[in-house]
Structure 1
Amino acid sequence: MSETISLPFTFTKDGVFYFSRRIPKELKHHYYSSRIAYSLRTRSPRVAEARARKAAEQLDEYWYLLRSREADLPGHHMLRTGQTSGGGSNAPQPTVNSSSVLLSEAVGLYLKQKGKNRPATFQRAAERSCGYVIDACGDKHLEAYTKADANAFRDALIKRGLAGSSMTRVFGTVRAVTNFAASEQGLTLSNPFTGVYYDREAGVSDRAPFSIADLKKVQTKCREHDDDLRWLVALVSDTGMRLAEAAGMTRGDFMRAADGSLFARVRPHSWRRLKTKGSERDVPLEGEALWAAQRILAQETTSEFAFPRYNKKDTTNANAASAALNKWLKEYVPKGCSMHSFRHSMRDRLRAVECPADIVDQIGGWQTDGVGHGYGKGYPLDILRKWIGEVT
């Protein structure tokens, strides 16, 4: 343990070494955080020390350049406008639109206008994705980026080991930031980050749905354990909710319809946002989901949360829930199945009883194509309950 503590610019989490270094006060205006921290992707102290030392040296060099750029140039008062000292070279200098912005500034514009009332993950995604571009190609004015830069960016992401699906998200964020900033600044921009080729299937594993036998096995185990973790599993298993939706519910989100039946009201909360506007819905509780809701409501507690252990701070800790429950599931389900598989399974189960697609979408909070589906309030609870009852 002492060896771990003695390594400069590092800390460990779950045995993995992370690089961490405070940004100098005079350079903080260049960053969106006061500290740089990221995984060194190793458990070896020797490898971690070498990687941390290299990262620290790179930062020292870059910070020296930043300080030099901001310092007064010696002899600046002797320079002739439009000429360089010493040779009068007329080498052309890069020209940019007077309204142009650096990519780092574009991120600031994007977050200022579009980041209002958005979760912290929205800001982190924009900063991280554009940070990858700056690491690979430098912090340039938007018009200065070329297709060669975009390809170099792609290659850097591949070198980082990102899966095709992750690269798609990163590229999408970079395009959104650059297009928005260009529009705000009145720039005519042919976005080089559009149409970049890469294997979108690379490193992507299919999420397998549960078989009916595996589903029933897991649900039986939930009844045997009969604790809050298994109530969460059971709730997701017969509603098809996203794990974060269920983990962030309050006891008050379980409501009774006019006929006395229970349903879950899925609505955004300050501690847990929803993925889309269409995710807001009422889901009838049948089968094991009904059992889970009844067990939750039967508990004597002062907490407003259905699952207090995942709501101890300002944000629902859905990642912790996912890690714990997926670890437990491994013993009972085939490889490739996870908590998210319940969502795939619910869709398959509803298909198997020939449930209309728009009802399936309403139950799961999926987006339904077509303008007409945006009209009205959707199907009433008794219709949704009928179809869920067919599969539970």
Structure 2
Amino acid sequence: MEYQAAAFTFVKKGIYDFARKVPNDLRDHDTSGRISFSLRTRKAVLARARAARASRQLDEHWRVLRMQDMDLPGKHMLRIGPQTPAAVPIGVSQPQAADEPALTLSEAVALYLRLKGNNRPATFHRAAERSCGYVIDACGDKDITAYTRADANAFRDSLIARELSGSSITRVFGTVRSVINFAAAEVGITLTNPFAGVYYDRKAGVEDREPLGPEDVRRVQEKCRVADDEARWLVALVSDTGMRLAEAAGLHLDDIKLEGPIPHVVVREHPWRRLKTSSSARVVPLVGMSLWAARRVVAARADDRFAFPRYNKGDTTNANSASAALNKWMKPYVPDRCTMHSFRHSMRDRLRAVECPSDIVDQIGGWQTEGVGHGYGKGYPLEVLAKWLAATV
């Protein structure tokens, strides 16, 4: 008995098969009008991952045939994984086997993104594809149970050869570990992840961000008041709130609350700008130059939903563009290695200087406070936060 199990798959005698019709305009390139072969698995989760991979391969192959001027792209982006002993050649019927391998790394990525990638930003997908693509480039697209510590060390050496900084290598290894651990758990495999605990210099190529001193902050704020334009309002808003640049650049006008006894800004997630962590959602009082900037923004943006439309012209807030432009503008007025993010470091120092309790500092900056007890209640009221922030101005 045959029946449809998932996109481009059906089950025959308990084994999943792949089948897809060849487009009419490409019939001359194929001996038949239908691509069909065994996926060599009885498990639905593996069949879906392998069918999705095969379908992407076919789409890319057909695109290449239509262009007639290029080979299949490199495997490093995982759009069309390379052929390996564990993969089935497209268009060749294979004997059905109930004893299949676990998952290749490219299949693990497809599974990971299908189950965890919903409603996640494009950067989440790119990070998984790029990081695991680096592994495939260095070690091949193996069964996830076949990778060894030697492979992990070779992978580390390849990242160092790419001149990635220690922090970037840490992020890449973290993503690879997450993909392998998730896929292994999903299909019921027990393994020791060889990409865990690999040694490398985590500080290599990493420069510490310097905080801005009080005089530097005041100098930049004065330049903002003189320029009095949208970009400088953004700088001023960040300078006395300690918000991340992306948080401030992605504000909706409704997030700025100037009415009432304590003006404040509401930092919350929007479709165009996600927050870094769950603790990043918070309310921050407006004092000093941040209050000046917020009033200027509201007065100028009565007919716009964004507080800073310059950086919200597409589907997502362009915080990178804001960072590049504002860091360049600030450079003559601040010490070396100081950037827009330095305001965030400075805010923590400014709150320390007035002996603000650390859990209040964490609430103002949206940092995670350690300890079970800190998860209870709603946190400090706005009046308390405003009192401590006002003391820093």
TM-score, reference length from structure 1: 0.78
Cα pair 1:28 1:34 within 8 Å, conserved: no
Of the candidates 203, 206, 212, which is equivalent to residue 205 of structure 2? 203
2:43 corresponding residue in structure 1: none
2:38 corresponding residue in structure 1: none
Cα pair 1:247 1:306 within 8 Å, conserved: yes
SS at match of 1:265: strand
Instruction: Give the Å deviation of 1:300.
Output: 4.8
SS at match of 1:272: coil
2:268 corresponding residue in structure 1: 267
Distance 1:178 1:64, change over 3 A: closer
Aligned partner letter, 2:343: F
Aligned partner letter, 2:154: A
Instruction: Give the Å deviation of 1:340.
Output: 0.4
Does residue 291 of structure 1 match 2:292? Answer: yes
Does residue 194 of structure 1 match 2:200? Answer: no
Residues 23-38 of structure 1: pairs in structure 2 closer than 5 A: 29-30=55-56
Cα pair 2:112 2:183 within 8 Å, conserved: yes
Structure 2 unaligned segments of length 5 or more: list them: 1-34, 36-52, 62-69
Q: 1:292-318 deviations in whole A, cap 9, x for unaligned?
A: 000001115421000001111110000
Q: 1:127-154 deviations in whole A, cap 9, x for unaligned?
A: 1111111111111110010101100100
Of the candidates 62, 66, 90, which is equivalent to residue 70 of structure 1? 90
In the alignment, the residues of structure 2 paired with residue 65 and residue 195 of structure 1 have an alpha-carbon distance, to the nearest angstrom, of: 30
Distance 1:196 1:145, change over 3 A: same
1:11 corresponding residue in structure 2: none
2:48 corresponding residue in structure 1: none
Instruction: Give the Å deviation of 1:109.
Output: 1.3
- CA root-mean-square deviation: 2.9
2:162 corresponding residue in structure 1: 160
Distance 1:191 1:31, change over 3 A: farther
Does residue 332 of structure 1 match 2:333? Answer: yes
Cα pair 2:57 2:81 within 8 Å, conserved: no
2:219 corresponding residue in structure 1: 217
Q: 1:269-290 deviations in whole A, cap 9, x for unaligned?
A: 0000101110010000000000
In the alignment, the residues of structure 2 paired with residue 108 and residue 196 of structure 1 have an alpha-carbon distance, to the nearest angstrom, of: 25
In the alignment, the residues of structure 2 paired with residue 175 and residue 33 of structure 1 have an alpha-carbon distance, to the nearest angstrom, of: 29
2:373 corresponding residue in structure 1: 372
2:119 corresponding residue in structure 1: 117
Distance 1:178 1:31, change over 3 A: farther
Count how many residue pairs are aligned between Structure 1 and Structure 2: 328
SS at match of 2:265: strand
1:322 corresponding residue in structure 2: 323
Aligned partner letter, 1:199: D
1:177 corresponding residue in structure 2: 179
Instruction: Give the Å deviation of 1:111.
Output: 1.3
Residues 241-252 of structure 1: pairs in structure 2 closer than 5 A: 241-252=243-254
Structure 1 unaligned segments of length 5 or more: list them: 1-25, 36-54, 83-95
Distance 1:287 1:183, change over 3 A: same
Distance 1:31 1:375, change over 3 A: farther
SS at match of 1:143: coil
1:85 corresponding residue in structure 2: none
